[in-house]
Structure 1
Amino acid sequence: MTRARLALLLAAAAAAMAAFVFPRLDFGTDVSNFLPAGQGGDEALVSRMLRESELARSMIVSVGAPDEATAAAAGRALADALRGHPALASLRSGPDPELPRQVYELYFPRRFLFLSDEPEREIPRLLSEESLRAEARRLRAELALPASTLLAEVVPADPLGGFRRLLERLVGAQNSVRVVDGQFVAGEGGRHAILFLATKAPGFDTAAQRPFLADLRAAFERVDAAHGGALELEASGVNRYVVAGEARARGDALWIAGISFVGVGGILYLALRSGTSLVLTLLPGVFGLLAAATVGTLAYGRLDGITLAFGTTLLGLTIDYPIHLLNHHAMSPAHEGARAVARRLAPSLGLAAGTTMASYAGLAFTTIPGFRQIAFFSVTGVAATFAFTLLALPVFLRGARPLPPGSRRFAGLLGGAVLALEPHRALLAATAVALALASAAALPAMRWQDELAALSAPDPALVDEDARVRGRVSPFDAGRFAVAVADTPDAAVALNDRVHAALEGCVARGELGGIRSLHDLLWSADLQRRNWEALVAQGDVAGRVERAFAAEGFRPEAFAPFRAALEAGPPAPLRLADVRGSELGALVAPLAFELGDRTAAVTLLRGIRDVEAVERALGEIPGVRLFDQEGFVTGIYREFRDATVRQLGLGGLLVFAVLLARYRRVRAALASFLPSTVVALSMLGAFAALGIPLNLLHAMSLTLVTGQGSDYGIFVVDSSDRARDFRATMLSLTLSCFTTIFAYGALAISQEPALRAIGLVTGIGILACLVLSPLSFLLLARRAPAPEGQA
C-alpha cells in the first residue's frame, strides 16, 4: 500500500473513532466503580447501596435566613421554583395535607395489629382491669380539653389507644424539623428552611445531576435576590460530591494531557530537531489512545474520569516504541530500510509490549470494576500503539533520517559512559545487591494506609457543609447503620423486627443513644397476626372494656364500634408495598429499598457508645450487620492491597519466566529482570525507612514500574552485541524515560490522591530504572559491543 493511501485510510479511521468517542466523553468519577463487585456478600451490598438505593438519590437542601419567618418564606419560594422539575422524583418542603387522611386510612382499620412489639406478654397486661381503668381515666381527662373533638370520634372504636400509640411512633420517626406556615424549618431559632429532594437519576449519574444542581443554584439565586441577598444555600447529597469530582477530573485530564503533550513534544523536538519526526513519534500513541477509548466505550458504555485521566499517560509510556524505531532507523546503515529495521526490532518491541500489557492485565483479575476498566483501556492502547508502530509507521519513513549532530554525540557519550563502567562491573553489581538486601531488611517497617481518603479525598468544604445540613435535620450518624437484607420485602420487614428488638436492648443498656427504624412505620405480617391472636385470646375483650370504662363513668353502649370491629375479624396485614404507595412513602424510602432482586431494611443509629456490644447484638441475627461505611471500605481496600502486593510478586515471577523462555539463558533473563526488581525493592525500602505510609495505588504503580523497567532491560540485552544498536538503545531509553516521567509526573499535579500516588511512584521509579539499566549490560557482557564497522 502506498504512503498516500495508508495515510488516507488511517486518517479516516482516526476521524471515525474521534467522531464516536468525543461526544460520549464523560469525565465523571463514579466512586462505586472503585468498590469491589460481586454476586453476593458484603462487597455486592455496598456497591449496590451506593449505586441503586434511595440513599444515592436523596438531597437535603437548607436555606439559611436572618429569622424564622424569612426562612419559611424563602423555603416556600424555592420549593415552588423547583416543583415540577423534570429531574425530581419527589420534593417535600412541608407536611403533606393528605398525610393525616392517609395515615388514618392505612392504620386505623389495623389499629389492633399494632398494639405491642411483644403481644403475648404485653396485651394480657394491657387488658387487665387496672390498666383498662387507668386508660379510661386518662381519656376522661383528655376529653375534657377544648381540642378533644377528634379524640371523641376515635375513642368509641379504639378505647385501647392503639391508634394513639401508633401515631406517637410515627411522630418519633419524623426528622427533627418543625413546621412554620407549612414549611419545614430547623436549626437554632428556625432560621433554616429545609427541603427534602429525591432525583429520578442515581446520584452518580453526572449527566443528569450536573444540570439539576445548576438549576437549583439558579433558582436559589432568584429567590435570594428577591430577599435582598440575605439568604445562604447549603445542601447535602451524594450528587454534589460526584459532580465536584467530575469537575476536578475534567480539569485534571486537561492539565495532565496538556503538560504531557507539551513536555513529551518538547523533549522529542529537542532531540530530533524535526517537526516531521516529532509528529511520527507521537502518531502511534495518539492512535492507540483513540483505539483504546473507542473499544473501551463500546465495551463499557462509558469510561470513568479516572480511566481517562490515567489513559492520557499512555502516550508517554508507549512512545518508547516509535522512539526506538526512529532512532535505530536513523543510526542504521544507508542500505537498511525502515521495514527491515522494524523486523529487526520486532522481537524486542513485542517482548517489551507484552511485559507492559502483562503489568496492566493483572488489574483485570481484581474484583474492582474501575481497575478492570483501566486494565482494559491500557492493554488495548498498548496493543494498538505497538501494532501501529510496526505495521504503519515504517511506511512513512523514507531512507535513513540522520539524527542531529548533538543527539548523535549524546548517544555516543551515553554508550561510552556505560562501557566505562565495565571494569567496575563486579563492584556495581555488588552495590546493587547490597541495596536490594538493605531495602528488604527495611520492609518490615512499612506502614500501609488503607483509608479511602488516601485514594479519593472529597473537598473538605463539601464535607463540612454536608455535616452541618445533616446535623440540622437528624441527629443520626449517616456513616453507621444497621442493615438487614432478605430475599423478599416481607422477609426483610420480619428481619427488621428482630433488629429493632436487639437494638432497643442496646439502648436500654446504654450501649446506644437511639435508633430510627422502619419498625416505627411497619411491622411484619407475622407480628401483626400475633397481635390479633393475643388480643382475641383474652376472651370477651369488648365486655371487659365496657365494664372497666363503665366503672370510670363511660356508657358501655358507647363502645359498640369497638365490639363490631372485633366481631368483624382481623383486617389484612399492612405490607411494605401499601406504605410505599401512600403519602408515607417518602418516610419509608430511606429505610427500605431494593438491592437488585433483594430488599434491604436500614436502621439509623445515634450515639454508639459500645460498638462491640452493638455488633454482638446484631451478629446473632443472620443476614444483619452493623454497617460502618468508612471501616468497611477500608477493610476491602486492605484486602485488595494485600492481593496486589502478592500479585506484584507473582507477576514478577511470570515476567521472569517469559524472559527465560525468550532468551533461554538464565544470565540474560536475570540481566533483563534484575534492575527493575532492585528498583521496586529500593523504593519500598525507602518509603519504609522514611516512615512514609504506602497505599493501594503505590503498590499498583510498582507493577507499572517493574513492567517498564523490564522493557529497559530487554532493549539493553537485545542490543548489547552491536555498538550502533547499543548507542541508539541508550539514547532511546533516555528519551523514553524522560517522556514517561513527563507523562506520569504530570499526574502529581492531580487533585486526586490516587493519581498523585501513581505519579510520584512511577516518576521516581522510571528514572531509577534508567539509572540502573546499564546494570543489565554489565551483568550480561562478556565483551564490549562490536564496533560499527563489524555490526
Structure 2
Amino acid sequence: MALCVLLIARARFTADLSAFLPVSPSAQQRVLIDQLRSGVASRTLLVGIIGGSAAERAQASRALAASLRADARFDQVHNGERGDWAAAGELLLRHRYQLSPAVGVQRFTVEGLRDAIDETLSLLGTPAGAAVKPLLERDPTGEVQRIAEALIPAQAPRLEDGVWVSRTEPRALLLLTLQAAGDDLDAQAAAIDAVRAAFAPQAARGLALQLSGAPLFAVDSRARIQHEVVVIAVTGLVVIGGLLLAAFASLRALAVALLPVASGVAAGIAAVALGFGTVHGITLGFGSTLIGEAVDYALYYLIQARDGGWRRWRDHAWPTVRLGLLTSVCGFAALVFSGFPGLAQLGVFSVAGLAAAALTTRWVLPVLVPAGATGAGRLQPLGRWTLRAVHLLGRARRPAWLLGGVAALLLAWPGQPPWRGDLASLSPVPAAAQRLDASLRADLGASDARTLVVASGADLQAALRGAEAAAARLDTLVEQGVIGGYEAPTRVLPSLATQQQRQAALPEAQALRESLAQAVRGTPLAQRSLEPFLAEVQAARALPPLTPEALAGTPLKAVVDALVIRRSDGGWTALLPLQPPARADAGIDAPRVQAALQGLPGEVAVLDIKQELDGLYARYLHEALIQALLGVVAVVALLGWQLRSLRRLWTACLPLALSVLITLGGFVALGVPLGILHLVGLLLVVAVGSNYALFFVQWPMAATGAAPDERQADTLASLLLANVTAVCGFGLIALSQIPALSAIGRVVAPGVLLALLLCSAFAPRR
C-alpha cells in the first residue's frame, strides 16, 4: 500500500476524451486525434458579452481585447477591430504576386493586362471602390482585391461600432487562440481565469461574460469529474458505512470492512498509473464502483467467520470467494487488451482492484479479526428473514423465464439495433453548454464543416503541394455546383514551388513597360502614373519566399495554424474544409468529391467527420463486444473446470444470463440506446453476480419446511448485506451528472439486485 500511495502521488490525471480514441488509428482518424490533442480547435475560446447597451458592449469588447493582447498566454485575439489586419494588409500587398492565383505569363501580356485593368476600373463605381482606389497606381491588375476576396469567409460576424456582434441577439463577440496545447489543461485553466479576471471591471457595470470552446470544456470536465468522484465516494462511504454499522453495531467491524475497499482503489489507481503513465478521470470515477463490490469480500468474511473462526472460513468459504474473484478477473481481463486506452484502463483498474481487495480479505482480515465480526447488530434476524425469503423466491422461476423471454423478444425485434450509442455518450459537457457553443459558433461563422479534404505529406511542402493539386480539382466542383466552396491554407501560404513559378512569370522591366503602354490606351490611366506598379513588380521578382514565420503577428497565422497540422509521426497534413452547395438542404456528395480527386500525387483523401466518428465508435463497440464475449467464455470455462458438472454449471450460469437479459430488455423497452459503458456495467453485473451464484451452487439450500440452518442463515445475511451495499453504491453512481459514470450505475444497480433474486430463485435444494 505504501508503494501504491507513492505511485498515486506521482501519477498524472487527465480528463480529455482522447484517451478513448484508438492506439492505432487510420490515416483519417489520425487527423481527428491530432486536432483533439494539439490542433487550433483545441486552443480556441469563443467569447460573448451580453447585457448593457450596444455602445457599452462594444467598449467592453475593445477593453477586453486590449487587455488580452498584452497577455503572453494568448496567441491571437480577434474582435473585428481593423487594427488586427493592418500588418496583414501590408504583408499581402508586398507578397501579392506570390499569393495571387491569377499570376502567370498570360497575366502580363497586352491582352492580360488590359483585361485585368478594365476589371479593376469597373470596381471603382461599386462599394468596393473605396478600397480599390488607394491601391490603383500600385496594383492596377487587382491582385490584392483577388486575394482578399478569397480570404472572406462564407459566413462572417456582423460589424457594429467597429467590433463583431451577433446577427440574432444583443451580444458582442471575440475569438481567442490560446498558446497552451490542448493537453496542457493547467495552462489552459490559467488562461481562462485570465479572461475572467480581465473582464471583471466590465462585470461590475452590469455586463456578463459567456465562454465556450474546447479549452473550457476540457477544464470544466476535469473539475466536474473530480467533484463528482469526491461526492460519490464520500456519499457512498457514508451510506454504506451506515448500513454496515447498523448490521454489525461495531465501529471496529466497520473499519475492517472498509480496508479491502481502500486497498482495492489504491491498487487500481497505482496499476493504471504504472501501466499507462496517466489516469483518466472516468477511470478514477470508476474506482468508486469498487466500493460496492470490494466491500462484499469483507462482508463474507466478517459474517461467515463468526461460526468457527478464520480457519473454518478459509477451508469452507474462501475457495468460493477465490473462484468468484477469478471469474471477475476473467471477465475484465478481456478489456485489458483493448486497442482503446480508456477501455484498457478500466480493465486494468478492475483486475488490480478486485485482486487487491480479495487478497486483503484473505491475508489481512484474519489477523485483525480472527473470529469475524464481534458485534451482534441486526445480523441474526437478517439471516433468518433472508432464509425465509429465499424459500419463497423458489416459486418465482416461471415469472423469471417469462421476463427473460419478453426481454429476448425486445432485443431481437426488427428495427433500430439496441447497441447504437455514440462517442457523445462519453462527453461530460452539459447540454446547456453545448447549446451556447453552437450559438456562439453560428454568430462567429466558426467553421464546423463535417467534410474535409485531407492532403498529407512527409514535410510541409509536400502537404502544401497536395493541397494545391486538390484545390484545382475542387474549383471545377464549385463551378459544377457539387460543393459551395472550400477553404485552403495555400491561399495564404502557397508552396515554395508555386511561389517560385509565379515569380518566374513576372516580366522584366522593359518588356512590362512596353506591354503596359499598349494596355492602358483608351483607359483613364496614364502610363506614367503606374510607375509604382512597374517598380513593385521588379521588386517582387527578388522577394524571398513567404514562410510560416513571416506570418507571425498577423491574423493570417491563425488561418494557417487552423488548416495545417504537424502530425505526431513528424509528417504534415493540410486541411481543406468543404462548404455545401447553396441549394436548400443540399449536402456534400463525398463519394463524388473523392472520385474527382482520384489520381492526384501524394496522399489526398476525403474525410467525413461524422461518418468517421460513427465508424470509430462502431469499431470501439464491436471490439468491446468481442472482448466481453471472450471474457464470458473464459468465465464459463473456469466455472465448468471448477464445478465439474454440467448441471451445476447450468445452475450457476442461468440466473446470471437471465439477469443480463432482463436488464438489457428493460433498457430497450425504455428506448435507451446501449453503448460501450453499458457493456462495462454488464461485466460488473456478471462479476458481482457470479459470487452469489457460486455460494448457492456450492452450498445448496435446505428443503422448504426443514429446520433453520444457522450457518446458512449467516451466509445468506452476508450475501444480502453485500447486495444492498452494491445497489446503494451503484445507485449513487447512477445519479451522477457525468454520463459515462451514470450509464454504468444504471446498469449495475438493477442488474446486481436481479442477480441475487434470480440466484435465490434458481438455487438448488438439498
Q: How many Å separate the matches in 1 of 2:529 and 2:231?
A: 83
Equivalent position amino acid for 2:411 in 1: L
Equivalent position amino acid for 2:22 in 1: P
Which of 61, 68, 71 is equivalent to 2:47? 61
| Matching residue of 2:466 | 495
**Does residue 441 of structure 2 align to residue 470 of structure 1?**
yes
Which of 114, 121, 124 is equivalent to 2:100? 114
Which of 39, 49, 52 is equivalent to 2:38? 52
Give runs of aligned pairs for residues 242-261 of structure 1, distance below 5 A: 242-261=218-237
Q: How many Å separate the matches in 2 of 1:66 and 1:151?
A: 40
Q: How many Å separate the matches in 2 of 1:62 and 1:690?
A: 39
- CA drift at 1:219: 2.2
Contact kept? 1:745, 1:759, Cα under 8 Å: yes
Q: 1:116 to 1:174 in 2, by over 3 A?
A: farther
Contact kept? 1:88, 1:197, Cα under 8 Å: yes
Q: 1:558 to 1:274 in 2, by over 3 A?
A: closer
| Matching residue of 1:788 | none
Give runs of aligned pairs for residues 150-169 of structure 1, distance below 5 A: 150-151=134-135, 154-155=138-139, 160-169=141-150
- CA drift at 1:394: 0.6
Contact kept? 1:129, 1:548, Cα under 8 Å: yes
Q: How many Å separate the matches in 1 of 2:456 and 2:210?
A: 33
| Matching residue of 1:670 | 650
Larger CA deviation: 314-323 vs 519-528:
519-528
Larger CA deviation: 652-661 vs 434-443:
434-443
Q: Determine helix, strand or coil for the equivalent of 1:589.
A: helix
Which of 729, 735, 752 is equivalent to 1:766? 752
List per-residue Cα deviations over 1:94-135 (Å, max 9, x = no partner): 668585556545663560663439x6xxx63x4564443344
Which of 340, 347, 362 is equivalent to 2:319? 347
Which of 179, 184, 187 is equivalent to 1:208? 187
- CA drift at 1:685: 3.1
Q: 1:487 to 1:611 in 2, by over 3 A?
A: farther
Equivalent position amino acid for 2:629 in 1: G
Q: Determine helix, strand or coil for the equivalent of 1:484.
A: strand
Which of 626, 636, 660 is equivalent to 2:640? 660
Q: How many Å separate the matches in 2 of 1:536 and 1:191?
A: 53
| Matching residue of 1:7 | none
| Matching residue of 1:599 | 572
Aligned residues: 744
List per-residue Cα deviations over 1:276-325 (Å, max 9, x = no partner): 11111111111221232334334444422222222111011111111111
List per-residue Cα deviations over 1:55-88 (Å, max 9, x = no partner): 1011132334655543332222223333443533
Larger CA deviation: 713-722 vs 142-151:
142-151
Larger CA deviation: 570-579 vs 724-733:
570-579
List per-residue Cα deviations over 1:532-579 (Å, max 9, x = no partner): 566779x96654333223564634796597489569967554344544
| Matching residue of 1:195 | 174
Give the TM-score normalised by structure 2. 0.86
Mind listing any 5+ residue stretches in structure 2 that lack a counterpart? Answer: 703-708
Which of 18, 21, 37 is equivalent to 2:23? 37
Q: Determine helix, strand or coil for the equivalent of 2:305.
A: helix
Q: Determine helix, strand or coil for the equivalent of 1:611.
A: coil
Equivalent position amino acid for 2:249 in 1: R
Q: How many Å separate the matches in 1 of 2:336 and 2:629?
A: 16
Q: How many Å separate the matches in 1 of 2:258 and 2:209?
A: 48
| Matching residue of 2:289 | 313
Q: How many Å separate the matches in 2 of 1:691 and 1:583?
A: 48
Equivalent position amino acid for 1:546 in 2: A
Q: How many Å separate the matches in 2 of 1:176 and 1:762?
A: 48
- CA drift at 1:385: 1.0
Which of 588, 601, 617 is equivalent to 1:637? 617
Q: 1:451 to 1:139 in 2, by over 3 A?
A: closer
Equivalent position amino acid for 1:717 in 2: V
Give runs of aligned pairs for residues 723-742 of structure 1, distance below 5 A: 726-742=712-728
Q: 1:556 to 1:375 in 2, by over 3 A?
A: same
- CA drift at 1:489: 1.4
Contact kept? 2:486, 2:579, Cα under 8 Å: yes
Give runs of aligned pairs for residues 39-438 of structure 1, distance below 5 A: 39-64=25-50, 66-85=52-71, 87-93=73-79, 100=86, 104-105=90-91, 108=94, 111=97, 114-116=100-102, 124=106, 126=107, 129-137=110-118, 150-151=134-135, 154-155=138-139, 160-170=141-151, 175-176=156-157, 178=159, 184-188=163-167, 192-225=171-204, 228-229=205-206, 231-332=207-308, 337-399=309-371, 401=373, 404=376, 406-415=378-387, 418=390, 428=397, 435-438=403-406
Equivalent position amino acid for 2:379 in 1: S
Which of 430, 436, 443 is equivalent to 2:411? 443
Q: How many Å separate the matches in 1 of 2:692 and 2:322?
A: 13
Q: How many Å separate the matches in 2 of 1:67 and 1:328?
A: 73
Q: How many Å separate the matches in 2 of 1:769 and 1:68?
A: 62
Contact kept? 1:506, 1:613, Cα under 8 Å: no
Q: How many Å separate the matches in 1 of 2:724 and 2:409?
A: 31
Contact kept? 2:157, 2:164, Cα under 8 Å: no
| Matching residue of 2:705 | none
Equivalent position amino acid for 2:349 in 1: F
- CA drift at 1:154: 1.6
Larger CA deviation: 198-207 vs 94-103:
94-103
- CA drift at 1:53: 0.7
- CA drift at 1:655: 0.7
**Does residue 673 of structure 2 align to residue 693 of structure 1?**
yes
Q: Determine helix, strand or coil for the equivalent of 1:681.
A: helix
Q: How many Å separate the matches in 2 of 1:112 and 1:403?
A: 87
Q: How many Å separate the matches in 2 of 1:130 and 1:293?
A: 74
Q: How many Å separate the matches in 1 of 2:655 and 2:130?
A: 91
Q: 1:441 to 1:64 in 2, by over 3 A?
A: closer
Contact kept? 2:482, 2:588, Cα under 8 Å: no
Equivalent position amino acid for 1:62 in 2: G
- CA drift at 1:617: 0.7
Larger CA deviation: 743-752 vs 434-443:
434-443
| Matching residue of 1:787 | none
Equivalent position amino acid for 1:410 in 2: L
- CA drift at 1:704: 1.6
Q: 1:721 to 1:193 in 2, by over 3 A?
A: closer
Q: 1:342 to 1:692 in 2, by over 3 A?
A: same
- CA drift at 1:382: 1.1
**RMSD (CA atoms):** 3.8
Equivalent position amino acid for 1:275 in 2: L
Q: How many Å separate the matches in 1 of 2:539 and 2:255?
A: 91
Q: Determine helix, strand or coil for the equivalent of 2:427.
A: coil
| Matching residue of 2:494 | 523
Equivalent position amino acid for 2:624 in 1: T
Q: 1:503 to 1:135 in 2, by over 3 A?
A: closer
Equivalent position amino acid for 1:91 in 2: V
Equivalent position amino acid for 1:197 in 2: L
Q: Determine helix, strand or coil for the equivalent of 1:154.
A: coil
List per-residue Cα deviations over 1:627-681 (Å, max 9, x = no partner): 4544432332233223333333332221111111222322232222221112112
Q: 1:460 to 1:98 in 2, by over 3 A?
A: closer
Contact kept? 2:43, 2:179, Cα under 8 Å: yes
Q: Determine helix, strand or coil for the equivalent of 2:487.
A: strand
Q: 1:457 to 1:391 in 2, by over 3 A?
A: closer
Contact kept? 2:327, 2:639, Cα under 8 Å: no
- CA drift at 1:770: 0.2
Q: Determine helix, strand or coil for the equivalent of 1:616.
A: helix
Q: Tell me the percent identity.
A: 28
